[in-house]
C-alpha cells in the first residue's frame, strides 16, 4: 500500500510556537533583570582583615554621596530615629558605608543608634 502525500500550495514550517516561546523567554529575562538591577544599593566597602560574623539584622546603608538607606528605603539623618523606634531593641544594627563617606556622618548615625538604646552595632566591611 502506497501512501500518497497531498501536494500543498505553500510548503513552510509553522513558526508560531517558536515565536511564542522566544517572546516568553525574552519577557522573562527582561522582567527579572529589572528587578535585580534596582534592588541593590551600590557602595564601595572599606576593607579589613577581620571577619564579619554578624550577617542578620537591620541594615543602614550610606552611599558615597551621603544618601542614607534604612533596610533599602531612602531616608535622612533626621528620620533615622523614626525608623529605629519600630525595631526591636535586641536586633543587630549593621552599618554598610561607602569608604568615601566622611566619618562625621557615621558618628552621627551611631549616636542616633545609641540614643535609641541599641547595643549590638556592627560595621560591614570587605574582607581582604
Domain membership of residue 85 (yes or no) is yes
Domain membership of residue 31 (yes or no) is no
Neighbours of 52 (CB within 10 A): 14
Each residue's pLDDT expressed in tens, for the chain with a length of 128 residues:
678 777 777 777 788 999 999 999 999 988 877 554 445 677 877 878 876 666 688 899 999 898 999 988 899 888 888 888 888 888 889 999 998 999 999 999 999 999 999 888 888 887 77
- Among residues 68, 73, 78, 76, the alpha carbon closest in space to that of 43 is found at 68
Give φ, ψ of 107 to 5 degrees. Answer: -65, -40
Domain membership of residue 53 (yes or no) is yes
Q: What is the number of structural domains in the chain?
A: 1
Q: Which domain holds residue 68?
A: 47-127
Neighbours of 62 (CB within 10 A): 22
Domain membership of residue 92 (yes or no) is yes
Domain membership of residue 11 (yes or no) is no
- CB of 118 within 8 A of CB of 90? no
Domain membership of residue 18 (yes or no) is no
* Global pTM exceeds 0.75: no
CATH code of the domain in which 60 resides? 3.30.420.270
Amino acid at each position: 500500500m502506497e501512501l500518497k502525500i497531498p501536494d500543498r500550495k505553500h510548503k513552510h514550517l509553522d513558526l508560531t510556537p517558536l515565536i511564542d516561546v522566544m517572546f516568553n523567554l525574552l519577557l522573562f529575562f527582561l522582567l527579572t533583570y529589572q528587578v535585580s538591577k534596582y534592588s541593590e544599593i551600590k557602595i564601595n566597602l572599606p576593607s579589613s582583615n577581620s571577619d564579619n560574623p554578624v550577617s542578620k539584622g537591620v541594615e543602614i546603608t550610606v552611599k558615597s554621596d551621603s544618601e542614607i538607606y534604612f533596610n533599602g528605603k531612602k531616608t535622612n539623618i533626621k528620620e533615622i530615629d523614626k525608623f529605629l523606634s519600630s525595631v526591636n531593641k535586641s536586633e543587630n544594627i549593621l552599618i554598610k558605608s561607602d569608604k568615601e563617606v566622611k566619618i562625621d556622618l557615621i558618628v552621627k548615625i551611631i549616636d542616633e543608634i545609641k540614643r535609641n538604646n541599641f547595643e549590638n552595632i556592627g560595621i560591614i566591611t570587605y574582607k581582604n
